[in-house]
């Protein structure tokens, strides 16, 4: 039986004060994948990515899983994955991880014909940067995010004429600024899940009343969405533009100017929405088996 490490974080799998409120999401997605992998002769094992006792040679391959604490230690995270990739298959690949962690990858995809949410990239999230973005987009509400970050970490919603959040709440370094889209609160955000390029399922995520963030930490809720052929084709154009074979990919889309536009291509540690995809485990395991060869 081949052994594959599913990399996670201490805040997701250990008990204690540092455990994340959404740590249950790790268990919810991991358990069906582990069962399905076992049926195919693959032992899928959770391991904490920064555990000093992790032995790379104990495993045949590694999957970047719920590593949801790397944002402030990106260099350390990439160094660890680099050590893995020297001798073992890593899914998704180290090149993909490096590319996808920096959200300027959206510029690459846009240059290849993908429709993205309008975005300005800046060296910081200063008052000046935000002021210029208001004028550029001719809007009164903006979402400001870190270029390297996840899960709405250091992300803020700002309104023209209102006091800006303190700098310690804003992105700590390079930032991306997008116009606030009312469609997120009205229609929601779509997450289309693919394994080895094959569509699996889609979750429609809506924020809690009075919020705009769709993550469960902030009261977001999900429902099954049955996509149209047009929507699947739009997602496959995104995957084609990425130009990589991907064990998993989550294509996050929102409505802009009447059409779906890419807000994120999640190919590093995305939540896989198992409740909306009862076939998640089998589809993941089948894709992993194919990619292991």
Q: What is the mean pLDDT of residues 48-76?
A: 96
With vertex at residue 266, the alpha carbon angle to CA 262 and CA 267, rounded to the nearest 5 degrees, is 135
**CA–CA dist 220, 56 (Å, integer):** 36
143 within 8 A of 177, measured Cβ to Cβ:
yes
Q: pLDDT tens-digit profile of 165-175?
A: 898 999 888 89
The boundaries of every CATH 3.30.1490 domain in the chain are: 120-179
The boundaries of every CATH 3.30.470.20 domain in the chain are: 105-116+184-270
Q: What is the pLDDT of residue 151?
A: 67
Torsions phi, psi for 101 (to 5 deg) = -65, -30
Q: What is the pLDDT of residue 210?
A: 82
Q: Is the pLDDT of residue 149 over 80?
A: no
Q: Which fold has domain 120-179?
A: Dna Ligase; domain 1 (3.30.1490)
Q: How many CB atoms lie within 10 A of CB 165?
A: 15
Q: Which range among 41-55, 200-214, 262-276 shows the weakest confidence by mean pLDDT?
A: 200-214
| Residues in a beta bridge with 261 | 254
| Residue recorded with tokens 């555990």 | 51
Q: pLDDT tens-digit profile of 205-262?
A: 998 888 888 888 788 899 999 999 999 999 999 999 999 999 999 999 999 989 999 9
Instruction: Give the full edge-to-edge strand order of the sheet including 221-224.
Output: 221-224, 198-206, 189-195, 248-256, 259-266
- Residue 72 binned pLDDT confidence (cut-offs 50, 70, 90): confident
Q: What is the pLDDT of residue 150?
A: 72
- Residue 31 binned pLDDT confidence (cut-offs 50, 70, 90): very high
Q: Is the pLDDT of residue 74 over 80?
A: yes
Q: What is the pLDDT of residue 249?
A: 98
Q: Is the pLDDT of residue 156 over 70?
A: yes
Best mean pLDDT range from 145-154, 173-182, 191-200 = 191-200
Closest CA to 193 of 183, 185, 203, 184: 203
**Averaged pLDDT of the chain:** 94
Superfamily for domain range 105-116+184-270: ATP-grasp fold, B domain (3.30.470.20)
Q: Is the pLDDT of residue 12 over 70?
A: yes
Q: Is the pLDDT of residue 106 over 80?
A: yes
| Residue recorded with tokens 């002769």 | 41
Q: What is the mean pLDDT of residues 5-12?
A: 97
Eight-class DSSP state of 276: G
Q: pLDDT tens-digit profile of 110-144?
A: 999 999 999 999 999 999 999 999 999 999 999 99
Q: Which range among 61-65, 161-165, 196-200, 203-207 shows the weakest confidence by mean pLDDT?
A: 161-165
Eight-class DSSP state of 9: -
Between 3.40.50.20, 2.40.30.10, 3.40.630.10, 3.40.50.620, what CATH number should domain 2-100 receive? 3.40.50.20
**CA–CA dist 67, 51 (Å, integer):** 12
123, burial (CB in 10 Å: exposed 0-12, middle 13-18, buried 19+) = exposed
First to last CA, the chain: 14
């Amino acid at each position: 039986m081949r052994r594959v490490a599913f990399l996670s974080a201490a805040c997701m799998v250990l008990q204690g004060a540092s455990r994340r409120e959404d740590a249950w999401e790790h268990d919810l997605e991991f358990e069906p994948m582990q069962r399905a992998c076992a049926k195919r002769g693959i032992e899928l094992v959770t391991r904490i990515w920064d555990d000093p006792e992790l032995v790379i040679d104990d495993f045949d391959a590694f999957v970047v899983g719920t590593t949801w604490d790397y944002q402030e230690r990106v260099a350390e995270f990439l160094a660890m994955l680099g050590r893995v990739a020297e001798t073992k298959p890593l899914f998704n690949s180290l090149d993909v991880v490096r590319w996808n962690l920096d959200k300027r990858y959206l510029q690459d995809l846009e240059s290849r014909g993908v429709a993205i949410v309008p975005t300005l990239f800046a060296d910081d999230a200063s008052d000046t940067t935000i002021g210029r973005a208001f004028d550029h987009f001719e809007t009164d509400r903006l979402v400001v995010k870190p270029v390297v970050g996840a899960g709405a970490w250091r992300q803020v919603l700002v309104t023209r004429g209102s006091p800006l959040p303190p700098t310690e709440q804003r992105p700590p370094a390079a930032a991306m600024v997008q116009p606030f889209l009312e469609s997120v609160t009205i229609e929601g955000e779509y997450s289309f899940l693919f394994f080895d390029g094959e569509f699996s399922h889609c979750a429609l995520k809506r924020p809690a009343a009075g919020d705009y963030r769709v993550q469960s930490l902030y009261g977001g809720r999900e429902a099954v969405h049955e996509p149209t052929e047009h929507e699947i084709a739009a997602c496959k154009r995104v995957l084609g533009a990425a130009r990589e074979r991907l064990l998993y990919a989550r294509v996050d889309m929102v409505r802009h100017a009447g059409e779906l536009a890419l807000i994120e291509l999640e190919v590093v540690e995305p939540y896989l929405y198992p409740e909306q995809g009862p076939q998640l485990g089998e589809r993941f395991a089948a894709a992993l088996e194919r990619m292991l060869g």
